[in-house]
């Protein structure tokens, strides 16, 4: 029989949730300390005691075992098998106690206390998250090795407590205060609508409204404006073992607005100007984050539909950063709810539906009547447009495929804000705009149909690659930004890439480096 009556890991009075989990605000470039205590109670003396604590972060995606491209829809059972893809991304180990001196029973009957502290990293700590398709979880596990008086071999006990990581209040505040204004303008052509979108901010809390000012100032010749469609959609993406991603399906958009027009003509002297107000529905919306295998984003989508086609002439998409409300913004009732493990503020959300969902009405503020107003002044940057950078790399504008006239203006950020907010960098990098004839299929489709392959330096070019695929692959090869820009400017897609010679790369595209040319040609 063991001499240990009690071996338990607990948090402090300030960081322990009602179900015993330790709650810590950490990551996001913020200092954080994870504190706890090991409680030990023995009924007989033990010696050569070593107590060790381990903090670990683990992310996992789950897939139906019959197909590595179909997300799991429910917990595993005898009749429903799941394949798991996991990765430990954080690990710290601390020795709390190590001594040959015997530990004897406490004469007053209580447990002995062994406190510990982990200094958590400032980055790579995404918030805790859980759905049937994947989790991001943290825990502290403590192990005690000891020798009882009459035994030569050591015995051991283990105790574990879950840890909930939240975005710090200070980080939310900095995100919300970071300049996030955007002005996006596309000059019209004979086949494409000329329009502009202006957002005063792209960082919002759950329950707030996104205001988008839309101006339509030119239409293709002979066309008339039929409608403007605006929506906010959540996007949760999971990566499998083959580095293929799948998107979960939601029952409905967070918010959707359709504004119809009486088939009007538009010209630059009399543009159509309207404001769209879209609710970040707290019943469905999820806070934005990026991690190794799971990412959560909220996408604003604008569609411009003309009288001569059911297909949108313009489809423009832009990621919006969503954060949980500041505690100072909560009502007293909501503040009390944040301490309840059943609420969205404390525990990971599970509002994602992977089954087919019936249509629902979407909350939206009624649109203001459109008006004919002078074209708003929107200062535009000069020079050519940068291309899409690799993931997790910031940029100041976004490449728009098929639309070299597109331009984006973004407010400058301080260096500290840019270092702090990788989400804003991701937000800029993922801006998408599509013109006539280049419309992609909607992203919120059944998960088995919504997947892509992440590129790397080892990827083999294919004729089906787009210009963006080629640019991403070149970046993985270590190509300078000016070379990648030139490939995008020359609209080099996969088929064109495979036809290039060494002379073409050197003389036409400026790839002077022999080593880089050999990498591109895979020699």
Residue 418, burial from CB neighbour count under 10 angstroms (0-12, 13-18, 19+) = middle
382 CB-contact burial (10 Å; exposed 0-12 / middle 13-18 / buried 19+): exposed
Q: Which residues in the chain come in under a pLDDT of 50? A: 332-334, 336-453
Fold equal for 172-335+369-451 and 455-523: no
Dihedral sign, Cα of residue 177, residue 257, residue 315, residue 350: positive
d(CA 520, CA 511): 10
Dihedral over alpha carbons 514, 515, 517, 523 (to 10 degrees): 120
Q: DSSP letter at 260?
A: E
For the domain made up of 172-335+369-451, give the CATH fold.
Immunoglobulin-like (2.60.40)
DSSP assignment letter at 123: S
- pLDDT of 237: 92
Q: How far apart are the first and last CA of the chain?
A: 68
Q: Where are the domains of the chain?
A: 4-166, 172-335+369-451, 455-523
**Strand extents, DSSP E, 293-397:** 294-306, 314-323, 371-372
Residue with tokens 């683990």: 58
Question: What pLDDT, in 10s, does the model give residues 50-64?
Answer: 999 999 999 999 998
Residue 374 pLDDT? 31
Give the side-chain half-sphere CA count within 13 A for 251: 14
pLDDT at 301: 94
Residue labelled with tokens 């790839």: 511
Specify the CATH class of 4-166 in words.
mainly beta
Helix and strand numbers, DSSP H then E, in the chain: 9, 24
Topology of 455-523 in CATH? DNA polymerase; domain 1 (1.10.150)
| Cβ-contact 230, 253 below 8 angstroms | no
Angle of CA points 67, 68, 72, to nearest 5°: 80
- pLDDT value, residue 455: 67
Rounded to whole angstroms, the Cα distance separating 93 from 50 reads: 13
Q: What is the pTM of this model?
A: 0.65
- What's the per-residue H, E or C state across 228-258? EEEEEEEEEEEECCCCEEEECCCCCCCEEEE
Q: Pick the closest to residue 32 from 162, 127, 119, 117 (CA basis).
A: 119
Give the pLDDT confidence score for residue 357 in this predicted structure: 28
Q: What pLDDT score was predicted for residue 399?
A: 32
Q: How many angstroms separate the CA atoms of 473 and 461, rounded?
A: 8
Distance from chain centroid for Cα 242:
20
Output 83-86 pairs: Cβ under 8 A, ≥24 positions apart.
84/60, 85/60, 85/61, 85/239, 85/240, 85/241, 85/293, 86/58, 86/59, 86/60, 86/61, 86/293
Within 8 A by CB and 6+ apart from 39, the residues are 6, 7, 8, 9, 10, 111, 112, 113
Q: What does each C-alpha distance from 156 to 97, 123, 152, 153 come to in angstroms?
A: 14, 34, 13, 10
Largest CA distance in the chain: 96
């Amino acid at each position: 029989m063991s001499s240990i009556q009690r071996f338990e890991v607990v948090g402090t009075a300030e960081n322990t949730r009602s179900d015993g989990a330790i709650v810590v605000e950490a990551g996001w470039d913020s200092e954080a300390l994870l504190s706890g205590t090991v409680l030990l109670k023995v009924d007989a003396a033990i010696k050569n005691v070593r107590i060790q604590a381990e903090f670990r972060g683990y992310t996992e995606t789950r897939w139906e075992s019959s197909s590595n491209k179909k997300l799991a829809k429910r917990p595993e059972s005898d009749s429903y098998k799941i394949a798991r893809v996991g990765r430990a991304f954080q690990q710290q180990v601390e020795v709390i106690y190590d001594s040959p001196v015997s530990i004897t029973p406490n004469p007053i009957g209580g447990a002995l206390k062994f406190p510990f502290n982990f200094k958590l990293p400032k980055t790579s700590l995404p918030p805790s998250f859980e759905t049937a398709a994947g989790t991001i979880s943290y825990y502290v596990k403590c192990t005690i090795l000891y020798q009882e008086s009459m035994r030569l071999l050591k015995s051991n006990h283990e105790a574990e407590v879950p840890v909930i990581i939240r975005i710090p209040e200070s980080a939310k505040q900095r995100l919300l205060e970071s300049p996030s204004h955007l002005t996006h303008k596309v000059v019209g052509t004979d086949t494409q609508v000329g329009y502009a979108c202006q957002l005063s901010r792209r960082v919002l809390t759950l329950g707030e409204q996104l205001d988008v000012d839309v101006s339509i100032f030119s239409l293709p010749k002979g066309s008339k404006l039929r409608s403007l469609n605006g929506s906010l959609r959540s996007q949760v993406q999971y990566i499998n073992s083959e580095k293929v991603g799948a998107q979960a399906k939601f029952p409905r958009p967070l918010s959707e607005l359709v504004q119809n027009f009486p088939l009007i003509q538009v010209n630059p002297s009399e543009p159509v100007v309207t404001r769209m107000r879209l609710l970040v529905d707290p019943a469905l919306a999820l806070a934005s984050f990026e991690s190794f295998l799971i990412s959560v984003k909220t996408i604003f989508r604008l569609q411009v539909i003309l009288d001569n086609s059911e297909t949108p002439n313009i489809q423009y998409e832009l990621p919006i950063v969503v954060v949980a409300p500041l505690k100072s913004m909560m009502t007293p009732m909501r503040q009390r709810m944040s301490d309840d493990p059943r609420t969205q503020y404390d525990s990971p959300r599970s509002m994602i539906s992977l089954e087919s969902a019936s249509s629902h009405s979407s909350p939206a503020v009624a649109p203001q009547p459109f008006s004919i107003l002078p074209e708003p002044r929107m200062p535009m940057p000069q020079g050519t447009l940068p291309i899409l950078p690799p993931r997790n790399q910031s940029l100041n504008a976004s490449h728009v495929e098929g639309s070299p006239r597109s331009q984006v203006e973004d407010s400058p950020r301080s260096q500290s804000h840019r270092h702090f907010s990788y989400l804003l960098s991701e937000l800029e990098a993922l801006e998408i705009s599509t013109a006539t004839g280049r419309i992609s299929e909607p992203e919120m489709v059944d998960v088995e149909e919504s997947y892509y392959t992440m590129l790397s330096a080892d990827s083999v070019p294919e004729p089906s690659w787009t210009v963006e695929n080629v640019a991403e692959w070149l970046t993985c090869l270590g190509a300078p930004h000016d070379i990648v820009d030139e490939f995008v400017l020359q609209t080099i897609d996969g088929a064109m890439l495979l036809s290039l010679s060494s002379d073409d790369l050197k003389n036409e595209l400026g790839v002077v480096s022999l080593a880089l040319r050999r990498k591109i040609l895979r020699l």
